[in-house]
Amino acid sequence: MEFPQPDIEAQIEGLQSRLEAAHSARERAALSAERRRLEGKWAASLSAIERVRMARNPARPQTLDYAEYLLSEFIEIHGDRRFADDGAIVAGLGYFLKRPVAIVGHQRGRSTRERLERNFGKPRPEGYRKAARLYELADRFGLPLITFVDTQGADPGVGAEERGQAEAIARNLELMGRLTVPVISCVIGEGGSGGALALGVANVILMQEYASYSVITPEGCAAILWRAAGPEKVAVAAAALKLSAPDLLAAGVIDQIVPEPAGGAHRDPAAAAKALGAVLRQHLGRLLKLGAADLRKHRERKFGAIGNGFIARRAVASDRPIE
């Protein structure tokens, strides 16, 4: 894993060593303040493609990790009752802060064997139909739904297309749009294309600080635009896609950025889960105060408004009225 500005990274590590060896409270406070300043400088120096690499770090916590940290008595369900079980989608029930909830999320796997079993986190139609089972179950029993987004996209293979990949994704979009329970989506890694959006039609969309979320991977974008996917073109595509959390917050696509531990969630998964859990608790408490019809209308208005700010800025820049 490469980090920008290695000198800053080295300074941070040096400060940490000095902090551990410090004896006085005054010295520790000063060193902690300097470390926070350097960590902020390091984070600001990340380019778009470096953020994508952070999001792809194989050590980042995945859906099952967050289920372990945040839920109690978690029970995973399997299969779509039509074809097979898809390991790229994790779905189940558990208790979040003593409240029963349903969760659905992508799972990439870490070892070579697990990645192959989970198809590198690229769901097939049966995975999305398993997710649909949970969506309907959550709606039937009034359970808040929490989703975890972490995929480069849906499986593009012939078998997936033959079994109705597009229809399965479209069904999920339609189902999530009409749910009458609170829905919170958390982008915890790399969110890509409709494969991610099938878990992302939510009342609140949270995004971890170093995650990415876009309509296509930078490599795919570069291949389409320039018929090449060299490092320079991929970096240009990543910047143009505006896929980082700050860019998406400014565009109104996401609702809140969840801070990560210094260096990324993979450096301290427990701290990352604690931060995400605190934000989930805040938004879930607010959404639970809304009625079923209001939750659905809230979701419709939210997605209907996405892009309005961008259109207004373009109109101002071009000195033309908005039609």
Helix-then-strand count for the chain, H and E: 15, 8
Query: How many angstroms from the chain centroid is the CA of residue 186?
Result: 5
Q: In the structure, what pLDDT confidence band is assigned to residue 155 with cuts at 50, 70 and 90?
A: very high
Query: Is it the case that residue 84 has pLDDT exceeding 90?
Result: yes
What's the DSSP call for residue 262?
T
Q: Please check whether residue 136 is in contact with residue 121, taking contact to mean a CB–CB distance below 8 angstroms.
A: no
Domains in the chain (CATH in brackets) are 6-45 (no CATH), 50-316 (3.90.226.10)
Give the residue from 144, 130, 151, 250 showing the smallest Cα distance to 204: 144
165: alpha, beta or left, given left = phi > 0 and alpha = psi -120 to 50? alpha
Q: In the structure, what pLDDT confidence band is assigned to residue 202 with cuts at 50, 70 and 90?
A: very high
Written as six digits, the tokens of 174 are 């339609």
pLDDT at 1 (0 to 100): 39
Query: Is it the case that residue 101 has pLDDT exceeding 60?
Result: yes
Q: In the structure, what pLDDT confidence band is assigned to residue 307 with cuts at 50, 70 and 90?
A: confident
Query: Is it the case that residue 208 has pLDDT exceeding 80?
Result: yes
pLDDT at 4 (0 to 100): 47
Task: Tell me which amino acid residue 30 is.
Answer: A
Question: What is the distance between the alpha carbons of residues 146 and 200, in angstroms, rounded to a whole number?
Answer: 10
Residue 229: burial class (beta carbons within 10 Å; 0-12, 13-18, 19+): middle
Q: In the structure, what pLDDT confidence band is assigned to residue 66 with cuts at 50, 70 and 90?
A: very high
Query: Is it the case that residue 129 has pLDDT exceeding 70?
Result: yes
Higher pLDDT, residue 230 or 107:
107
Residue 313: burial class (beta carbons within 10 Å; 0-12, 13-18, 19+): exposed
Task: Tell me which amino acid residue 294 is.
Answer: D
pLDDT at 306 (0 to 100): 85
Question: What is the distance between the alpha carbons of residues 121 and 101, in angstroms, rounded to a whole number?
Answer: 23
Query: Is it the case that residue 323 has pLDDT exceeding 80?
Result: no
Length of the chain: 323
Give the number of other CB atoms < 10 A from CB of residue 301. Answer: 9
Give the number of other CB atoms < 10 A from CB of residue 186. Answer: 28
pLDDT at 41 (0 to 100): 65
Task: Tell me which amino acid residue 252 is.
Answer: G
Least confident residue range of 196-210, 258-272, 296-310: 296-310
Query: Is it the case that residue 270 has pLDDT exceeding 50?
Result: yes
Q: In the structure, what pLDDT confidence band is assigned to residue 18 with cuts at 50, 70 and 90?
A: low
Query: Is it the case that residue 241 has pLDDT exceeding 60?
Result: yes
C-alpha Rg value of the chain to the nearest Å: 21
Query: Is it the case that residue 88 has pLDDT exceeding 80?
Result: yes
pLDDT at 15 (0 to 100): 57
* DSSP state string for 111-177: SHHHHHHTGGG---HHHHHHHHHHHHHHHHHT--EEEEEEES-S--SHHHHHTTHHHHHHHHHHHHH
pLDDT at 309 (0 to 100): 58
**Confidence (pTM):** 0.85
Give the residue from 190, 146, 158, 100 showing the smallest Cα distance to 280: 146
